[in-house]
Amino acid sequence: MAATITPDGKTVDFHFLDVANFNSKQGGYMQHAVFTTLDANHHTEDWTFLAQGKLINAHLDLQRTK
């Protein structure tokens, strides 16, 4: 995966580049991920996994407990 970061430094965007010896019938791979910092105690993550031609998305909204 390759990452780019926004100019404000709050979002890191990971994009799939390549995989060797991949057999789509045996599994999948992480295609995309985005991490966004909302404040010092809160961030979100968005994940996209590709398995057998189907996209599986997950969204996490994470906050530190005090």
CA dihedral 55, 61, 15, 30 (to 10 degrees): -40
Compute CA distances 24 → 14, 21, 32, 39, 56, whole Å. 21, 10, 17, 38, 14
Total-model pTM: 0.84
- pLDDT 10s digits, 10-47: 999 999 998 777 776 678 889 999 999 999 999 999 99
pLDDT for position 53: 83
Contact 39, 30 (CB under 8 A): no
